[in-house]
Structure 1
Amino acid sequence: METQADKTHTCGTICLKYLLFLFNILFWLAGGAVLAVGVWTLVEKSDYISLLNSGFYSASTYILIAAGVIVIVTGIIGCCATLKEMRSLLIVYLILLLCIFLLEIIAGVLAYINYQELDEELRQNLKVTMQQKYQQPGEESVTQAVDKLQQEFKCCGSNNFSDWTDSVWIQAADNERLVPDSCCKTPTDLCGRRDHPSNIYNVEGGCIMKLEDFILSQLYILGAVGIGIAFLQLVGMMFTCCLYQNLKEDPY
C-alpha cells in the first residue's frame, strides 16, 4: 500500500517533469529564434562581408547558426530525458546545458573584444575599399555590397560623398559620374552626374556610421537573446538536478 510520503514524492516528481518539459519547449523556441537570426543575417546581410578584411562577421554568423542547432538538439534531448525519466540522459542533458552556458560567456567576451577591432578595421579600410575596388574587374561582390549599402542605409561614400572624388572608377576617362548611381535618392542611369544634396544622400558620418550602427544593433540583439537563453539554462539546470535527485530516490 502506497504511503503518504510516497504520494507526495511522486507528485513532486511529476511537477518537476512538467516544469522541465515546459522549460525545454521554451529552450527549443529560443534555439529556433537564434537559428532564424543567424540564417537571416547570412541571407540578407552577407553582402557586407566583402567590405571587411576580417572574417569575424561571417564566422560569428555561422557560429550563431550552429548555436541555434545545438540548442534545438539539446532541447530535444531534454524532452526525451524528462518524458522517459532516464537518469543517464539527464546527466548528458545537464552537461550540454553547462557547456552551452560556458560557451555563451566566452562568445560574449570575444564578441565585445572583436567588435572593437572590427570597428577600427572598418574605419581604416572601408574608404580605401570603396575607392580602389568599386566597379573594378573581379570585384563584383564589393560593387554589389557598396551599392546595397548606400541604398539600404541612404548614405554616400565612406565618410561623405566627397570620398568618391579619389575613386579609381570615378577618375576613369570614360566615366561621366561624380558619384555612383546608388548614391542617388532616386537611382536612375547616370543620375550620379550631379552630386548636389538635393539629388544624392548627404548623411553626416557617411556609410561608416550607418554600418557601425547596424553591427552594434546586431550585437545588442544577440546579447539580449544570449542573456535570455542563459537565464533559461540556469533554471533548466536547477530543475534537471532536482528531477535527477528525485528519480534517483524513486523505487523501481
Structure 2
Amino acid sequence: MDCGTSTVKYILFIFNTIVSLVGILGIVYGVLILNSIGTIVVDGQTGFPPQAIMPIGLITISSIVVFISFLGCCGAIRESVFMTMTYAVFLLILLLLQLTIIVLLFTNKDKFLDAMGDVIDKAWEQDSRENGIFDAIQKSLHCCGKNGITDYITNLPNVPKSCCEGGNCLNPLNVYGGCRSKFQEFMSGSTDLARHVGLGLIVVELVGFIFACCLANNVRNYKRRNVY
C-alpha cells in the first residue's frame, strides 16, 4: 500500500471517528431536549407534545450518521472496497436527502409554518378541551388557547390554570400568549437552526464522500496490481 493511500485511509478513519462522536453528541442533545420538553398524558396514555418533532428528528438523523460513520471506519481500517463504497453510497444518499430538506425549508418556510399552525388548529377543534390534549399542550408550550385567552373567555366561563404562569390568572401579566403563534415561533427557530446545521453537515459529508471514493479506488487499483 503506497503512502498516499495509507494517508487517505487514516484520514478517513479519523474523520469518521470524529463524525461518530458528533453523532453521539447529537443523540445526547436530542434526548436532553426531549427530556426538557417532557411528555403529556391524555386519557391515561402518555405521549410527546407537538414540539417534540424536532428533537426526535435530531435523534433519528444522528443515529443514522453514527451507523454510516461506523461503516466508514470499518471500511477504512479493513481496506474493504465493498464497505467503503457502501459507506460512500449511504453518505451520498444522506447528503442528497438533507439537501432536499434544506431546499424545501428555504423555499416553503411559510407553508411549513402554516402546516404547524394547522396542527394546533386541529388539536383545538377536535373537542380537545374535554379529553385534555390541549390542556397538556398548554402546559408544555406555556401558551393559552389557540390564539389567546379570549378563546376561553368566549367558550368557557373558567380559564384553565395552564393558561397562566403559576396557575394565577388574576394577574393579566401572568397570562400566556396563543398556542398557534407560540408553536410556529418555536418551529421557526428550530428550522432555522436545522438549516444551518444541515448545511454544515453537507460540507462535512461531501468531504467524507470524496475521501471514501479515493480510498476505494486506490485499494481497488492496488489489489489489481498485486494480481499481476
Q: TM-score, normalised by structure 2?
A: 0.76
- Local SS of the residue matching 1:229: helix
Pairing 1:104–2:98 present: yes
Per the alignment, residue 239 of structure 1 pairs with: 211
Shift of 1:59: 6.8
- Local SS of the residue matching 2:197: helix
Q: Relative to total residues, which structure has the larger helix share, 1 or 2?
A: 2
Alignment of 1:1-252 (within 5 A): 10-40=2-32, 42-45=34-37, 63-111=57-105, 115-123=109-117, 126=120, 129-130=123-124, 133=127, 135-136=129-130, 139-150=131-142, 155-167=143-155, 170-171=156-157, 177=158, 179-187=159-167, 191-192=168-169, 194=170, 196-198=171-173, 200-201=174-175, 203=177, 206-250=178-222, 251-252=225-226
| Alignment check: 8 A CA contact 1:20 1:82 kept | yes
- Residue identity over aligned pairs, in percent, reads 27
Report the RMSD for the aligned CA atoms in angstroms: 3.3
Q: TM-score, normalised by structure 1?
A: 0.70
| Alignment check: 8 A CA contact 1:16 1:239 kept | yes
| Alignment check: 8 A CA contact 1:134 1:146 kept | no
Equivalent pairs counted in the alignment come to: 216
Q: Structure 2 CA distance, aligned partners of 1:110 and 1:59?
A: 17
Q: Structure 2 CA distance, aligned partners of 1:243 and 1:186?
A: 60
Gaps of 5+ in 2: 43-49
| Alignment check: 8 A CA contact 1:17 1:82 kept | yes
Change (3 A) 1:57 1:186: closer
Q: Structure 2 CA distance, aligned partners of 1:16 and 1:68?
A: 25
Shift of 1:127: 5.9
Larger Rg: 1
Greater RCO (CA < 8 Å, at least 6 residues apart): 2
Q: Structure 2 CA distance, aligned partners of 1:243 and 1:132?
A: 56
Gaps of 5+ in 1: 1-8, 51-55, 172-176
